Amino acid sequence: MNATHTIPVTTDPPTTAITATADGPMLVALDVDGTLLPEGTIDVPPVNADAVQDVIAAGHHVVLSTGRSLVGVMPVAASLGLTSGWVVASNGAVTARLTPNAPGGYEIADAFTLDVPPVVALVRELMAETQIAAEEVGYGYHVTREFEAGLLNGRQTVVTHDRLPEATPRLVLHAPGVTTLLGHLRTLDVTATPAGENWIDLAVGLVSKATALYRIRRRLGVHPDRTLAIGDGANDLPMFKWAATAIAMGDAPAAVRLAADAVTGTLQQHGAASILDAIAAGKPPTPPAGCH
């Protein structure tokens, strides 16, 4: 990774590999929006929360892995009853360890930021009306124009383009047709991930959910063969490559379903819970009949 800025971290867990065996605990990486709960909400359906707790009780690790900011994923962790373990936020740019006694309930372990000014200059030249949001970890976002309720997590502070932070773990671009900028943006040493036609998430260099999960797996000493990921979006594709077993939600886009090893039920069908229940029971995860 070619990050030119880092956010000071409050914890320094070991990065050397711990001896891991292929029959040890699993590491289960879970996307949030569209996988555990509806987009933009914070209350996890009880069936999913119970399934997560059953997996933990069976001795496995559960890691939330999301595009949401850290301040946006913490209420979800609380809804799931998670008070320890790890979360991946901002599409892998921020990794935190859940710590009940720490301010906010977490300690930042890794954080990588991108340079904002070059991206802003390019966007203003090519699509000047684009809304831009730069994440501030633990707070929310600095935005060039206020985003509609539910689109961003945390507080919003409206600023002019030249008052945006110099560096941020996650930069959001929002405008009709903004994905036409993808090719231009990828010349700036950023990872640009579309979320629909009107939204792009940016992180530095090669940062993704996968890069963060790789570091967590090594910290926990989990064998690569004991990793599983469940997700539904384009930002989950690197995570699918990282996992020994990748499961797509039934209502995921075709490209995401094709990249998975199997497809489970939809969010409304509690597809994630069916996989988690199988893991907790010590059985091979089996998607519902009719899913492939």
Residues of the chain with pLDDT > 90, as a percent, come to 82
Each residue's pLDDT tens digit, 48-80: 999 999 999 999 999 999 999 999 999 999 999
Average pLDDT, the chain: 90
User: Would you state the structure tokens that stand for residue 185, as one six-digit string?
Assistant: 């943006």
200-237 pLDDT tens trace: 999 998 899 999 999 999 999 999 999 999 999 999 99
Compute the Cα dihedral for 78, 232, 171, 197 and give only its sign: negative
Which pLDDT band holds residue 285 (cuts at 50, 70, 90)?
A: confident
The pLDDT of residue 206? 86
> In the prediction, which pLDDT does 21 show?
54
* Domains with residue ranges and CATH for the chain: 5-11+20-112+207-280 (3.40.50.1000), 113-204 (3.30.1240.10)
- Evaluate if residue 7 carries a pLDDT over 90: no
* Contacts of 252 by beta carbon, 8 Å cutoff, 6+ apart: 34, 231, 232, 233, 260, 263
pLDDT > 70? residue 15? no
| Count of residues making up the chain | 292
Asked if the model's pLDDT at residue 287 lies above 80, the reply is: no
Within 127-234, residue ranges assigned H as helices are 182-185, 209-220
Provide, rounded to the nearest whole percent, the portion of the chain with pLDDT above 70: 90
Q: What is the pLDDT of residues 97-125, one digit of tens each?
A: 999 999 999 999 999 999 999 999 999 99
